[in-house]
Structure formats: structure tokens, C-alpha cells
Amino acid sequence: MHSFDELILQTRDVLHAHDARGSAFSAAEHTLPIPPLEELPIPVGPHVGRGIVLRANTAVELGGTTNDSCALVLATSDTSLVRDGYVSLFGPDIAQLRSSDSAETAVHTPFAQIIFVAGENLAPDDFSALEQCQRAKDYIDGYLVRSFTGQVHSRVSRQLADRGFTLAMLASALSHIVKQACPAAQSVEVAFATEPDRVQRCIPVRDAWIASSHDLRKARWLEKGIDIDCPAGGHCGSCADKATCDRVRAIARMRKERQAVHA
């Protein structure tokens, strides 16, 4: 599986980008080992939490409808592209976001969450399961997460923030979820960004990921005889226009091959 190899490299370039003056962004990168699930100071695991955090009880809101957000799973069969067991944070963590001045009101910030996954035996069929791993769901009590295609909206409750919750703890939960859902995943690495400029620079990568994910998903369904883009319902085997669509796909495929030869 190599559909996202180039995006993995692009994402790393974006996260380590410099500003127009050649200087690093204000927030330093912090890379550390992902803490083992069993060593966390808070309970983390399936059905530990209810997955509900009311707005009035929110300490930090990550992403959402009013802030830029980016949520990606980038999977590859090339294990050299992923550092297993590491989390990188670009920007302030939960405690820094929630300063003493904002202890009584929720802090809102842009947010990028990127999960890198590698496994020699990863296949396109694994991608659907990996996509579902972006949501910690009920793994952490006091953490709410909603995700849309390429975007994420999370809330950290006041009680969870008071207990010292960090994004490294979230990475621990996400890593566990990935390896439970996809046995072929050998390496899992996570990166978070809370600095607005870095999150903004992730948006073009997110858009490219959405397009690549769609193409991968469509190819999988076409193998089953279903075109997910077809307005007639998608089941090619029962469609009177199947022959026409087959010819169009063949022409498009030949055009792509010709462009690749001359690229």
C-alpha cells in the first residue's frame, strides 16, 4: 500500500516548515515516546467514557466549526516512513492552552491530528478500518470527539484538564485503537498541531488526502461492482449504462497511463 507515501513526506515538510523569513515558527516541536496505555494516570480504554462533554463544561475545544482543523490517517507498506511509538506536538499542549487567565472559560484553537501507520502487509482493504481510528470515541472519560472527512472537533472537559490530560495521552489511545483495529499495523506515529499557522499549512495536504482517500475507496468498491459516484445508484451489474461507463473508464485509464509515461 503506497497511495499515501508522497503525502507522508509532504505532511512532514509542512509540519517542519519555516516562515517567509526562514525562521522556525514560534512553537517548538516536542517529540517524545508515546506513553504505554497501562501507565497513564487516567483510565483509558474501550467504554471508559461516555463520549459527551457539554459546552459549559469544556476547558479546551480543538478544531470544530469555527477553527481550522485537519484529521488524517496516512498509511503505507513502507515501514521506513513511520517512527513507531512516537508523538510530536507542534504548539502548546492542553495545560499551556488553558492558562490561568482562561481557567473559567473554554479555550478554542485550531487543531491538526495526523496518524501515520505502517505495516509491510497493509493493503487497501485495511484503509476503511484505519479511517475509523481517528476518533477516540469513548476511550477517555471527559473527551468528546466528532470527525468529518479530513476534519476533527474535540472537547476536553474541565475535570479531565484538571487531571493533567495531555495530547501524548491522546496519542496513546489512538495508537492502541489502530493496532487493535488493524493487526497488519506494525508502526504507529502521531503528530498534533495547535499552532494556527501550522494547522493552516496542513489544509492543502488535507484536501489532497480527501481526494486520494476517495479514489482508494472508489477503487475498492468498483472491484465489487459498485460505483460510489454513480447517480443511478452505483450497482454496475444492474445498470443499463454499464458498457458506456466501462469505455469511459478505459479511456480515462489510458489517458492517465499516457500522462505518467510523459511526466
Going by DSSP bridges, is the β-strand pair 111-118/69-76 parallel, antiparallel, or unpaired?
parallel
Helix (H, G, I), strand (E, B) or coil at 42: coil
pLDDT: is 21 or 122 the higher one?
Answer: 122
CATH number for the domain spanning 130: value is: 3.30.1650.10
Residue range 201-222: mean pLDDT, rounded: 81
**Same-domain status, 208 and 229:** no
Within this chain, do residues 108 and 230 fall inside the same structural domain, yes or no? no
How many Å separate Cα 26 from the centre of its chain?
A: 24
When pLDDT is averaged across residues 16-43 and rounded to a whole number, the result is: 73
Nearest to 61 by CA among 154, 145, 146: 154
Query: How many domains, the chain?
Result: 2
In the 8-state DSSP scheme, what is residue 153? E
In the prediction, which pLDDT does 83 show?
Answer: 95
Do 204 and 256 belong together in one domain?
Answer: no
- Residues 162 and 188 both lie in one domain: yes
pTM greater than 0.75 (yes/no) = yes
State pLDDT tens for residues 140-182.
Answer: 999 999 888 899 999 999 999 999 999 999 999 999 999 999 9
Same domain, 120 and 141: yes
Domain containing 237: what range?
225-262
212 plus 184 within the same structural domain? yes
Residues 86 and 135 in one domain: yes
Q: Based on the domain organization, do 177 and 256 belong to the same domain?
A: no
